[in-house]
Chains A and B, each alone.
Chain A
């Protein structure tokens, strides 16, 4: 598919997924009336939906913020995954490998255990923890490559950074487990956060994520072309006039910001960052100029659909959304491994 066509298809998918997310749920809202109520919100359009004020409250205060938050979280996670894959020239990399998830998990655990888990404390602590996790991985990487910097950067640089990320992640998870062992009564709250959920979505969460989402998305999308150049390796990229270390720093920082703001409001949601960019590659080829915007759109739609499943299959109980994405994502991951092998990389 040509990139423009793929983008149009992905945009349609996102809108359709969002509509499904808005229409489907425990409170049985009439689809036509829901559509009319939504259209009524468009400037200059005035429609009478016939929805009761209770239905309207469900629609505008419960479902819509949840769908919008799902779009943001899914889009950010998928785009961050795609960005990391470009930076590290490896289609199997995700934020989780760089200490981001472990850092967020530790942050949220600390907030739950020591700050009583107030609704504002957990997202803030997870956000800071996620960024700190990536920063620690980056520092660990810098410490290992400080010696013989030039040759180290050129050859094993990206592998070293990933290993540093895994080491930092294991360490942070160990600290988190230690904290939790001392305060087992909080285990339920911590584990339900770790599995990810959008059930507490509010407009306030949407507006708190939005600025970070906007900045990180803008910066990441503007670097798609640079990631394409990085695909030929640091040395050739430098000979083409690029500064790979600088590009890597900018994109990693933006992706870390995107993933951290997503994780802060949703908990840990796996596989979106790996599976969605791969679908984007399948649709329109490996250029990051199309992979990144496609991931943003498809990731948003995918997560809204996953969330719709999560809140309906066991209704009125909710399944953690991380469980749904893992159930879909893990088999898809195997499929990616197979096709990556077939492509000879």
Chain B
């Protein structure tokens, strides 16, 4: 079943076109990864799905056009984690994760017991309950990413938008975070749309890849269809080898160009 359906998405920022008629879809509980060179429009697609940039075309979530949803209803369904989330340094982890409940609160209401329970459950699930009283300024990179995911999870979304969730992390913490996201989507029937700059990682975790090139879809489908030497040469102007790793998944390794 299709959870997220993006059709003919066209976005212009400051009067210059960024995306031209992009169409892609993610199955319910699936993980769709956007790949492509810098400036290809990956983050813009994520932000359009979060309702943060004006666009032409349609974005549907479980059949509903997200443009027809009220801002707060949309925020309940879709959680957005930007590439560099703003973490107010003096706020505690507990307060920050509780912000994830915002879409569930009335305009003049405050968080109640149910909201605190959901936030506590998210802290528990991401194994950071012991940091609850710690200030955000005092977290390491890996802890920060888990705290941000906990905030996203606390809002109980159907769609999780992740813009480069691992770009600031070392390889070990990258794996930790990606495994967490993978576990969460399976448990909570959460659909994930993320950008991932590491092609090997994208092939390992996502069910489907969309390769963007200058705002258009250059290729889409399972990793085997998208991660080919030719396509990567064409889109990234990079020489790589694509081989099957020990687990059968593809490994994209850069190859030094012969001069």
Task: List the interface of chain A (C-beta within 8 A of B).
Answer: 148, 150-151, 154, 222, 225, 228-229, 231-233, 235-236, 238-243, 281, 285-287, 289, 343-345
Contact = CB atoms under 8 A, between A and B. Distances in A.
Given A225-B110, A228-B95, A241-B75, 20 more contacts: A154-B52, A222-B108, A228-B91, A231-B86, A232-B88, A232-B96, A233-B86, A235-B82, A236-B86, A238-B52, A238-B71, A240-B100, A241-B76, A241-B103, A243-B71, A285-B90, A285-B91, A286-B88, A343-B90, A345-B89
A288 B251 CA distance: 49
A148 B95 contact: no
Contact of A343 (B79, B105, B137, B155): B137
Interface residues of B, number: 38
CB-based closest 4 A-B pairs: A241-B75, A239-B80, A241-B72, A241-B103
Contacts of A285: 90-92, 95
Nearest to B80: A239
Contacts, number: 77
B53 interface: yes
B50 A239 contact: yes
B99 A228 contact: yes
A235 B84 CA distance: 11
B102 interface: yes
Contact of B95 (A235, A236, A238, A287): A287
Contacts of A343: 89-90, 137
B128 to A, nearest CB: 17
Interface in B81-117: 82, 85-92, 95-96, 99-100, 102-103, 105, 108, 110
Nearest to A243: B71
12 contacts: A222-B108, A225-B105, A231-B91, A232-B88, A239-B50, A240-B99, A240-B103, A241-B102, A242-B71, A286-B88, A286-B91, A287-B95
B146 interface: no
Nearest to A235: B52
B86 A344 contact: no
Contact of A151 (B14, B91, B96, B102): B14
B74 interface: yes
B21 interface: no
A238 B89 CA distance: 20
Interface string B43-60: 000010011111000000
Contacts of A148: 14-15
A150 B54 contact: yes
Nearest to B110: A225
